[in-house]
Amino acid sequence: MHEALKEVAFLGRRGTPGGLELLVRLEISPMPDEGEAFFIAGHGGMFARMATILLVGVDLFFRGKLDVLLAGHHLVTTDTLAEPELVLADISRIEPEDVADAYPDIPIVGFSSHTDTGGLRRAHAAGFDQVLAKSALQERCAEVVEELLAPVD
């Protein structure tokens, strides 16, 4: 489909609104095969492997944030058949020991409010690979996931 684009005025203004312009510039690439590298926009042109990440106890609002923070990864819930490569668990909504027992060979990241010190301690004691306050996870989400998914030499 190669058609010439035509300029259309929006609400009597010249050009497109800023948000729409950003949306139009966004190019969605096809999903790679498992293990194939792909370009993650916003990661400084870095190439990364798409991973299946299981979300346990994550509410819909935070799920939306994770969709943006982990663009390019396949986020799933327990109702799918996909085998996860990493687990993200909201420890304020689940029992850390149950998650650790269910996924013993998969890296697990637990998060909760910074005020939930008891939950953070329980997740650490259960053997989670990373335990973070929710705010820290939002700041470092992609970095933490890449670190835990990196192949061990």
Tally of domains within the chain:
1
The two tokens of residue 135 are: 């705010």
For residue 79, pLDDT over 90 is answered with no
Residue 7 lies in a domain: no
Domain assignment present for 118: yes
Structural domain for 73, as ranges: 32-149
CATH (domain of 129)? 3.40.50.2300
In a domain, residue 11? The reply is no
- Does residue 126 lie in a domain region? yes
Would you say residue 26 lies in a domain?
no
- What is this structure's pTM? 0.66
Residues 52, 84: contact at Cβ < 8 Å?
A: yes
Query: Using one digit for the tens of pLDDT, what is the confidence trace for 107-116?
Result: 999 999 999 9
Average pLDDT (26-38) is 43
Residue 17 lies in a domain: no
Supply 52's token pair: 């299946």
Write out the two tokens for 121: 């301690």
Considering the domain boundaries, does residue 113 fall inside one? yes
Which of 10-19, 32-41, 117-126, 144-153 has the weakest average pLDDT?
Answer: 32-41
Q: Give yes or no for residue 45 having a pLDDT over 90.
A: no
CA dihedral in degrees (73, 107, 100, 110; nearest 10)? -70
Let me know if residue 70 belongs to a domain: yes
Specify the length of the chain in residues: 153
d(Cα 25, Cα 30) in Å, to the nearest integer?
A: 16
Do 37 and 49 touch, CB atoms closer than 8 A?
A: yes
